[in-house]
Amino acid sequence: MKRLPTRSPECRERGLDSLVQALLSLRTAEQLRAMLIDLCTPAEIEALSDRWQVVAPLLQGVPYRDIQERTGVSVTTIGRVARCLSHGAGGYMQAADALGLRRHPELYPPSHPA
Protein backbone atom coordinates (compact mmCIF):
# COMPACT_ATOMS: atom_id res chain seq x y z
CA MET A 1 0.00 0.00 0.00
CA LYS A 2 1.28 3.42 -0.93
CA ARG A 3 1.75 5.90 1.90
CA LEU A 4 1.23 9.59 1.44
CA PRO A 5 4.01 11.84 2.71
CA THR A 6 3.37 13.29 6.15
CA ARG A 7 2.70 17.01 6.12
CA SER A 8 5.13 19.18 8.02
CA PRO A 9 4.02 21.01 11.18
CA GLU A 10 4.41 24.29 9.26
CA CYS A 11 2.10 23.04 6.51
CA ARG A 12 -0.51 21.91 9.05
CA GLU A 13 -0.26 25.29 10.81
CA ARG A 14 -0.80 27.15 7.52
CA GLY A 15 -3.82 24.96 6.84
CA LEU A 16 -5.28 25.73 10.26
CA ASP A 17 -4.63 29.46 9.79
CA SER A 18 -6.43 29.34 6.44
CA LEU A 19 -9.41 27.53 7.99
CA VAL A 20 -9.58 30.08 10.82
CA GLN A 21 -9.64 32.91 8.28
CA ALA A 22 -12.41 31.18 6.32
CA LEU A 23 -14.51 30.76 9.47
CA LEU A 24 -13.91 34.36 10.51
CA SER A 25 -15.09 35.54 7.08
CA LEU A 26 -18.60 34.20 7.68
CA ARG A 27 -21.07 36.77 8.94
CA THR A 28 -24.16 34.88 10.09
CA ALA A 29 -25.04 31.80 12.10
CA GLU A 30 -26.63 30.34 8.97
CA GLN A 31 -23.41 30.78 7.00
CA LEU A 32 -21.35 29.16 9.75
CA ARG A 33 -23.83 26.29 10.08
CA ALA A 34 -23.63 25.67 6.31
CA MET A 35 -19.82 25.73 6.44
CA LEU A 36 -19.75 23.23 9.32
CA ILE A 37 -22.16 20.93 7.49
CA ASP A 38 -19.97 21.07 4.37
CA LEU A 39 -16.69 20.81 6.28
CA CYS A 40 -17.47 18.06 8.80
CA THR A 41 -19.05 14.64 8.72
CA PRO A 42 -22.26 14.23 10.73
CA ALA A 43 -20.24 12.31 13.36
CA GLU A 44 -17.71 15.16 13.59
CA ILE A 45 -20.48 17.73 14.03
CA GLU A 46 -22.04 15.56 16.74
CA ALA A 47 -18.67 15.26 18.53
CA LEU A 48 -18.11 19.02 18.38
CA SER A 49 -21.66 19.69 19.59
CA ASP A 50 -21.28 17.18 22.42
CA ARG A 51 -18.09 18.85 23.60
CA TRP A 52 -19.62 22.31 23.57
CA GLN A 53 -22.81 21.09 25.27
CA VAL A 54 -20.89 20.07 28.42
CA VAL A 55 -18.92 23.31 28.82
CA ALA A 56 -21.59 25.27 30.74
CA PRO A 57 -22.34 22.54 33.31
CA LEU A 58 -18.62 21.90 33.82
CA LEU A 59 -18.03 25.60 34.43
CA GLN A 60 -20.81 25.52 37.03
CA GLY A 61 -19.21 22.57 38.83
CA VAL A 62 -21.85 19.98 37.96
CA PRO A 63 -20.50 16.43 38.58
CA TYR A 64 -19.54 14.42 35.50
CA ARG A 65 -22.18 11.72 36.11
CA ASP A 66 -24.93 14.33 36.38
CA ILE A 67 -23.77 15.93 33.13
CA GLN A 68 -23.71 12.51 31.48
CA GLU A 69 -27.24 11.73 32.67
CA ARG A 70 -28.56 15.12 31.48
CA THR A 71 -26.82 15.17 28.09
CA GLY A 72 -26.01 11.59 27.13
CA VAL A 73 -22.41 12.68 26.48
CA SER A 74 -19.84 10.11 27.62
CA VAL A 75 -17.90 10.64 30.82
CA THR A 76 -14.71 10.27 28.75
CA THR A 77 -15.70 13.21 26.54
CA ILE A 78 -16.75 15.23 29.58
CA GLY A 79 -13.34 14.58 31.15
CA ARG A 80 -11.57 15.61 27.95
CA VAL A 81 -13.44 18.91 27.89
CA ALA A 82 -12.74 19.46 31.60
CA ARG A 83 -8.99 18.99 30.93
CA CYS A 84 -9.17 21.54 28.13
CA LEU A 85 -10.98 23.99 30.38
CA SER A 86 -8.16 23.70 32.91
CA HIS A 87 -5.12 23.12 30.72
CA GLY A 88 -6.12 23.79 27.12
CA ALA A 89 -5.44 26.62 24.72
CA GLY A 90 -8.21 28.76 26.23
CA GLY A 91 -10.70 28.55 23.39
CA TYR A 92 -13.55 27.10 25.43
CA MET A 93 -13.08 29.77 28.10
CA GLN A 94 -12.94 32.60 25.56
CA ALA A 95 -16.17 31.44 23.94
CA ALA A 96 -17.84 30.88 27.32
CA ASP A 97 -16.82 34.35 28.48
CA ALA A 98 -18.04 35.91 25.22
CA LEU A 99 -21.43 34.25 25.77
CA GLY A 100 -21.55 35.21 29.45
CA LEU A 101 -21.64 31.63 30.75
CA ARG A 102 -21.43 31.49 34.54
CA ARG A 103 -18.40 29.90 36.23
CA HIS A 104 -18.07 28.26 39.61
CA PRO A 105 -15.65 30.83 41.11
CA GLU A 106 -13.56 28.29 43.04
CA LEU A 107 -13.19 25.87 40.14
CA TYR A 108 -12.80 28.36 37.31
CA PRO A 109 -11.86 31.83 38.58
CA PRO A 110 -12.59 34.73 36.24
CA SER A 111 -9.94 35.51 33.66
CA HIS A 112 -7.82 38.57 34.20
CA PRO A 113 -6.31 40.30 31.17
CA ALA A 114 -2.54 40.15 31.15
CB atoms within 10 A of CB 96: 20
At 46-59, the pLDDT tens digits run: 999 999 999 999 99
9: pLDDT strictly greater than 70: yes
Q: How far apart are the first and last CA of the chain?
A: 51
pLDDT at 111: 67
Write the CB contacts of 70 (distance below 8 Å, at least 6 apart in sequence).
Answer: 57, 62
Contacts of 33-41 spanning 24+ positions with Cβ under 8 A: none
Cα–Cα distance measured from residue 80 to residue 85, given in angstroms and rounded to the nearest whole number = 9
3: pLDDT strictly greater than 90: no
At 75-110, the pLDDT tens digits run: 999 999 999 999 999 999 999 999 999 999 888 887
Q: Would you kindly state where each structural domain of the chain is located, as residue ranges? A: 9-39, 43-114
pTM summary value: 0.84
Residue 71: which of 92, 49, 53 has the closest Cα?
53
Higher pLDDT, 71 or 105: 71
Q: Dihedral of the CA atoms 41, 88, 55, 91 (nearest 10)?
A: -70
pLDDT at 113: 47
User: At 30, is the pLDDT very low, low, confident or very high (cuts 50, 70, 90)?
Assistant: very high
DSSP 61: T
